[in-house]
Amino acid sequence: MNVPIRWGILGAGRIARKFAAALQCLPDARLEAVGSRAKDRAHSFGAEFNIPRCHSEYSALAHDPQVDAVYVATRHSSHAENTLLALSAGKAVLCEKPFALNASEAEEMIASARQKKLFLMEALWTRFFPLMAKLREMLRQGAIGEVRMLTADFGFRAPLDPNSRLFNPADGGGALLDVGIYPISLASMIFGPPVKIASMAQLGRTGVDEESAMLLQHAAGQIAVLMCAVRTNMPQEAVIMGTEGQIRIHSPWWRPTAMSLIADKGHQRSQRGQQLRVNLPLNRPISLSLTACVGSESTLDFPYQGNGYQYEAAEVMCCLREGRIESETMPLAESLSIMRTLDTIRSQWSLKYPQELAKSSS
């Protein structure tokens, strides 16, 4: 077995618990420390996951000599500050999405990591699932011809609580940064950065976006139609459309376990006799005939163990062992591009967070 990578978690909330549980699926990962500004919360978290060191200051966690990599699991508005703290202490960083509050913060984080030659990656966990790896392979191989369009949504109905991080502008609240980043990231993964953006949003009582729709056009004319919400339930499906078929990622597509391939009839005839091979995570390959699904969907299943957060952690550890300071699957340039897309969308709504307003007035 590889020499274990020692993790510290900065933050002790819900997402931190998910990540801590996921590390238990990786035999070469060690959860060595947790940091919270509330001493009782840090020790409670530590007891729950049998963590040796529990720090009541973020700085103490960042400077812990027994930690190789820090997972930043705080609120959106603190991601940049906390990431820069960990980088200044010489730690590799996996920062929960969204990477920052805006592109300006993201630029500062990236510049710091590159100047110090330290690993940094945005924790967009969806991108690292086995299904997504297979999807990228299928698209490269032309499984649905030339990809032209995408539809994707992520929305749910949360109770309106002005003090909740979902609705508090000071926390970077709203649907866009919390869940809208998922379909935008999917469009980025498939098409690259958009060249044209049109959007509209419903701003709620607290001033943040509660529902929104976005229309992106990309460099080769491809179009992505995306939606997100924190006050409206949505199907949570994604459909990728090409010149020779479609791929539908089943709900919830952002935590994917299955997708369907729908080949156009003409494409099916041209592919007669060919097989589509799918390698499952448990090393159980299956073969599907493209000719057997005329007028129907062929479903490809990708079961996994654990809660799914282990895949992004495994990517970080693989990069660290190979001496890389960026992930090829989630490169920093793409994280910055996504943040710029989010900034452009918010500018169309005239939505600025208090920190941005304070900075612009100073």
Kindly report the number of other CB atoms within 10 A of residue 148's CB atom.
16
For residue 197, list its beta bridge partners.
216
Q: What is the DSSP string of 96-158?
A: ESSSSSSHHHHHHHHHHHHHHT--EEEE-GGGGSHHHHHHHHHHHTTTTSSEEEEEEEEE-B-
Active site residue: 18, 97, 116, 359, which one?
97
* Structure tokens given for 66: 């027994």
Are β-strands 258-263 and 275-278 bridged in parallel, bridged antiparallel, or unpaired?
Answer: unpaired
User: Catalytic site residue 97?
Assistant: yes
Cα four-point dihedral sign 194, 197, 200, 201: positive
Residue 32, phi then psi, degrees to nearest 5 = -100, -25
**136 burial via Cβ count (<10 Å: 0-12, 13-18, 19+):** middle
Cα separation, 46 vs 101, whole angstroms: 29
DSSP states of 284-328 as a string? --EEEEGGGGTTSPEEEE---SSSSTHHHHHHHHHHHHTT-SS-S
Q: What angle do CA 191, 291, 248 make, to 5 degrees?
A: 35
Radius of gyration of the chain (CA): 21
Q: Which residues are catalytic?
A: 97
